[in-house]
Amino acid sequence: MMRQYELVERVKAYNPKADEGLLNRAYVYAMKAHGTQKRASGVPFISHPLEVAAILTELRLDDSTIAAALLHDTIEDTTATRAEIDTIFGPDIGHLVEGLTKILKLDLVSKKAAQAENLRKLLLAIADDVRVLLIKLADRLHNMRTLDFVPEAKRARIAEETLDIYAPLAGRMGMQDLREELEDLAFRHFMPDAFAAVSKRLEELKLNSGPVIGVIESELTQKIEAAGLKAEVSGRLKKPYSVWKKMERKSVSFEQLSDILGFRVLVDKVSDCYAVLGLIHTTWSTVPGRFKDYISTPKQNDYRSIHTTVIGPRRQRVELQIRTFSMNDIAEFGIAAHTLYKDGDGAPNSVRAQESRAYAGLRKMVESLADGDSAEEFLEHTKLELFHDQVFCFTPKGRLIALPRRATPIDFAYAVHTDVGDGAVGCKVNGRLVPLVSELNNGDEVEIIRAEGQTPPAAWESMVITGKARAAIRRATRTAVRRQYAGLGKTILERAFARAEKPYDEERLKVALPRLGRVSFEDVLAGVGRGEIFSGDVVKSVYPDFKHEQAAGVEANLAEGGWFAMRKAQGLVFKVPDSGDGVVDEADNTSIPIRGIGGDLPVKFAPNGGAVPGDRIVGILTPGEGITIYPIQSSALTDFDDQPERWLDVRWDIEDSVPQRFPAQLAVTAINEPGSLATVAAIIGESDGNIDSISMTGKTADFREMLISVEVWDLKHLSAIIAQLRTKPVISAVSRVNG
């Protein structure tokens, strides 16, 4: 077990002016707070915070971070409080310790929800101070190193969480060595059989390729030195998890992998990187498609290096990484490498880490995901953001946009700005028009075509890759749906007040909000539109002397003996335009105009039979779904006789300049002989009807009954199709289905 004096010596080795008193106070406080607590292995609990602090000394972190590492479990696992830590160690260290403390006593229904809420809290703390992340990663690394002592039932869950969250977080921060160790430790416990198989093959390859690695290192070094350049060359085999992931991603066997051997060339200056690259490419043949320049275009986690693959010495396929020594520090230690740059007094400067591109990118991601989503959505989106490798694309003005692999132009649009994504209607990639769901590649120039007032379709949510795009689409969809319901609610209320012969006064309605149990006027409109609030109740809240129309409807029903009379008593007279059949009803301003699906109101048509312009129609308000339009002759309307508050006065309002089809259903009985179905389909097609679906509802030796869903322009068009079908000898009977 690490000793306290050893820890202090480690800190003073890279920071001679370290506050030894602070470190000793933190150790003594943690030791007393944890008291007789034991780890699962049976060792004193204090060994864990000591080892976590020791891991952070390898990253050369500041005194406050090391002290916070010693104290990181005190609030969560002991009687210590934030106030006490603030008093003894100061608010800076108290803030770090609290950021690492899980949410206690969560009243959540699932472990997934608890994990998601804890992750949200952690990432929000990370967005405030990057040192929280560094301590948490060191904490997870030591826990993974000692996972063998945890009950077997928990190991797989902890290992999966490490692969899902903590290893990608380390990668996002550029801490590649730490990421690889986390991945391999988690791989060993989460998929032990796969880990054992890959490790065995790598060990065999190492025995066979050991001399080859030395020979290639020697030949590369000699070539570079002969050109007058100084370089340090080292080779190694890839890690088990990296090999397994590549096998899974490319669906290949171990034998088919040709880049398990990797070599790193470290030089002093950036210019030397390109000099070495030129030397290697003129000496050995390159493998096409295997060159990446992350120096000119760094990764979002600040990683900079040149990658290339050549057929090198001994005809061996060799993967090379060429970078400077300072780039290598960032490649290995990531964001922690920024603390290596000293202030004037020689102390590590954690502020520089806060200013890095990697941390800025993570903070931006957290801020974009944290707004308005549930904890479980946050977890889902975070995994999406962390898991994928990146592609680099450009705006027409040359701005670089980093995206996960398999990202689409929709992801690109939302990465530029939420408003750009919401307004996207098309795109050009490298000057060519392509679908918005196309997959982007490295170096693509993407131009987004926008339209004002556009709302992203809800279906986009399943097509995008980035969490930011998903969250924005979900919010925009919710806003659009709420706007639709609010618009419908306003329309319903205006007509309800008109039927009651009362003025529609929004100011008086706002005064009446407490009586309706709503906090805003928009909530009332949306509630009426969803069917959660009856319009008569709103009228009564503004005008208490108003008599509910339900009562009038019931009286009429009793007096005249029928639901149609009740509707008339309520003022629900159903209007239609001139459909060509000579029936014209005079419209008034109390009926709601219906134009079809996709308009400003949440509208759908009767599931069995539909409705078309020319029909007398009625609207039924369904809570949470909007208006369902039925023809007045539909038998399904009897199901709503005892719910008069759901009936709406509606009328067709069709624009000749924007024609659209409407749904109807036909019951057709045809002679059971070859070609009868083709005849039916041909007549409907020749008559400009559109068949949506056909189902067989009955069959005898002589006849076949079918139900056909069609889309037509209006009642006149539907009647013409029926008339044409009836003229054919093969068709015995045709009738319209009215539900």
pLDDT score at 351 = 43
SS3 501: coil
Asked if pLDDT for residue 578 goes beyond 70, the answer is: no
pLDDT score at 700 = 79
Q: Is the pTM of this model over 0.75?
A: no
- Concatenated DSSP letters of 58-126: HTT--HHHHHHHHHTTHHHHSS--HHHHHHHH-HHHHHHHHHTSPPPS---SSHHHHHHHHHHHHHHHH
Say which residue, 286 or 505, is predicted with more confidence: 286
Average pLDDT over residues 66-91: 92
Question: Pick the catalytic residue: 20, 77, 92, 380?
Answer: 77
pLDDT score at 562 = 39
SS3 261: strand
What DSSP designation does 547 have? P
Kindly indicate the confidence band of residue 411, based on its pLDDT and cuts at 50, 70 and 90.
Answer: very high
Kindly indicate the confidence band of residue 66, based on its pLDDT and cuts at 50, 70 and 90.
Answer: very high
Q: Picking from 74-83, 238-247, 544-553, which range would have the lowest pLDDT averaged per residue?
A: 544-553
pLDDT score at 343 = 43
SS3 343: coil
Q: Picking from 88-102, 109-123, 455-469, 651-665, which range would have the lowest pLDDT averaged per residue?
A: 109-123
pLDDT score at 104 = 41
709 phi and psi, to 5 degrees? -90, 125
C-beta separation of 65 from 351 below 8 A: no
> Class assignment of domain 4-190?
mainly alpha
Average pLDDT over residues 195-223: 84
Average pLDDT over residues 77-95: 91
Q: Picking from 180-184, 404-408, 652-656, which range would have the lowest pLDDT averaged per residue?
A: 652-656
Kindly indicate the confidence band of residue 112, based on its pLDDT and cuts at 50, 70 and 90.
Answer: low
Average pLDDT over residues 42-63: 91
Question: Pick the catalytic residue: 20, 76, 439, 711?
Answer: 76
pLDDT score at 564 = 43
Q: In this structure, which amino acid lies at residue 156?
A: A
C-beta separation of 368 from 468 below 8 A: yes
Record the tokens describing residue 120, joined without a space.
Answer: 């949200």
Asked if pLDDT for residue 64 goes beyond 80, the answer is: yes
Say which residue, 717 or 626, is predicted with more confidence: 717
Q: In this structure, which amino acid lies at residue 527?
A: G
Nearest one of 646, 659, 654, 650 to 629, comparing CA atoms: 650
CA dihedral 358→119→129→61, nearest 10 degrees, is: -80
pLDDT score at 537 = 79
- Concatenated DSSP letters of 569-613: HTT-PPB----SSS------TTSEEE--TTSSS-EEE-TTTB--B
Q: Picking from 447-461, 581-595, 635-649, which range would have the lowest pLDDT averaged per residue?
A: 581-595
Work out the mean pLDDT of the chain and round it to a whole number.
79
**Who's near 501: CB < 8 A, 6+ residues apart?**
none
Q: Name the percent of the chain lying above pLDDT 70.
A: 80
Spell out a b/e string for 722-735, using b for 16 or more CB atoms within 10 Å of the CB, else e. eebbeebebbbebe
Domain ranges of the chain: 4-190, 194-340, 397-465, 662-737
Kindly indicate the confidence band of residue 117, based on its pLDDT and cuts at 50, 70 and 90.
Answer: low
**Whole-Å CA distances, 217 to 103, 235, 306, 569:** 51, 7, 18, 95
C-beta separation of 149 from 39 below 8 A: yes
Asked if pLDDT for residue 447 goes beyond 60, the answer is: yes
pLDDT score at 195 = 92
Asked if pLDDT for residue 534 goes beyond 70, the answer is: yes
Architecture per CATH, domain 397-465, reads as Roll (3.10)
pLDDT score at 604 = 82
CATH topology of domain 194-340: Beta Polymerase; domain 2 (3.30.460)
Best-predicted range by mean pLDDT among 230-244, 268-282, 291-305? 268-282
Asked if pLDDT for residue 570 goes beyond 50, the answer is: no
The superfamily (CATH) of domain 662-737 is ACT domain (3.30.70.260)
pLDDT score at 650 = 80
pLDDT score at 110 = 46
pLDDT score at 586 = 41
Kindly indicate the confidence band of residue 357, based on its pLDDT and cuts at 50, 70 and 90.
Answer: low
Q: Name the percent of the chain lying above pLDDT 90.
A: 24
pLDDT score at 364 = 58
* Dihedral sign from CA coordinates of 648, 652, 658, 659: positive
Kindly indicate the confidence band of residue 138, based on its pLDDT and cuts at 50, 70 and 90.
Answer: very high
77 has catalytic annotation:
yes
C-beta separation of 446 from 427 below 8 A: yes
| pLDDT tens figures, 684-713 | 999 999 998 898 888 877 888 899 999 998
